[in-house]
Amino acid sequence: MGKGKLIVLTGPSGVGKGTLLRSLLQRHPDLYLSVSVTTRRPRPGEVNGKDYYFVSRPEFERMVANGELLEWAEFAGNYYGTPRTPVVDQINQGKWVILEIELQGARQIRQNFPEALRIFILPPSMLELEDRIRKRGQDAEDAISRRLSRAREEIVAANEFDIQIVNDNFDKALERIEETLFATAAC
């Protein structure tokens, strides 16, 4: 791939970022997915170092104080962040690194890594987003309300990103991401 690149993928909870990203990585295994660090407890089946690096709050705060994170944010009572060293190492080796992060972290990346390509995934509508979140069956009613309220705030920020892609048709949204990535390869 030649020159390394940082790619930021964000959008509201439930918009399908994770599913799109998994398919993108299956189709393009040369892309490098950055593994985030978090203070939340592992969910059943999650593996430390593969899904996330699970750390204590004091350990996370030490990482922040020592400048070991490219970006970090608090979400739903837990900290999430991107370890700096693996990302920079991969970019220096010519890899394209993808971060799947929240809006707050994406804004930090814009300040700290302005050459990053930033992609915002949008839902077709708020009604569809609510339906997707409910079908996951992972959240209580109050958590669903918080996610939807936060989604409304995040969607307003979509125009801060280089590219906005509406995930109304999975295959088309995936194709748009690929077109965006590989059309910028010559840049």
pLDDT at residue 147 in the model: 85
pLDDT exceeds cutoff 90 at 96: yes
Query: In the predicted model, what is the mean pLDDT of the chain?
Result: 92
Report how far residue 186's alpha carbon sits from residue 81's, in angstroms, rounded to the nearest whole number: 30
Edge-to-edge, what's the strand order for the sheet holding 163-166? Answer: 32-33, 96-100, 5-10, 117-122, 163-166
The residue among 141 and 119 whose pLDDT is bigger is: 119
pLDDT at residue 77 in the model: 86
pLDDT exceeds cutoff 90 at 184: no
**Beta carbons of 158 and 120 less than 8 angstroms apart:** yes
Residue 65 sits in a domain of what CATH number?
Answer: 3.40.50.300
pLDDT exceeds cutoff 80 at 146: yes
pLDDT at residue 2 in the model: 66
pLDDT exceeds cutoff 80 at 1: no
Report how far residue 158's alpha carbon sits from residue 107's, in angstroms, rounded to the nearest whole number: 11
Report how far residue 21's alpha carbon sits from residue 178's, in angstroms, rounded to the nearest whole number: 11
Q: What single DSSP character describes residue 67?
A: T
161's tokens: 């990103």
The residue among 138 and 30 whose pLDDT is bigger is: 30
The residue among 75 and 32 whose pLDDT is bigger is: 32
The percentage of residues in the chain with a pLDDT greater than 70, rounded to a whole number, is: 97
Edge-to-edge, what's the strand order for the sheet holding 53-54? Answer: 53-54, 37-38, 78-83, 69-75
pLDDT at residue 90 in the model: 95
| Mean pLDDT, rounded, for 37-42 | 95
pLDDT exceeds cutoff 90 at 169: yes
Report helix, strand or coil for 123.
coil
Report how far residue 169's alpha carbon sits from residue 187's, in angstroms, rounded to the nearest whole number: 28
Domain ranges, residue 31: 5-183
Q: Helix 17-27 crosses helix 170-183 at what angle (to 10 degrees)? A: 60
Number of domains in the chain: 1
* Banded model confidence at residue 39, pLDDT cuts 50, 70, 90: very high
Report how far residue 175's alpha carbon sits from residue 187's, in angstroms, rounded to the nearest whole number: 19
Report how far residue 38's alpha carbon sits from residue 19's, in angstroms, rounded to the nearest whole number: 20
Q: Within 10 Å of residue 68's Cβ, how many Cβ atoms?
A: 16
pLDDT exceeds cutoff 60 at 86: yes
pLDDT at residue 187 in the model: 47
**Beta carbons of 125 and 34 less than 8 angstroms apart:** no
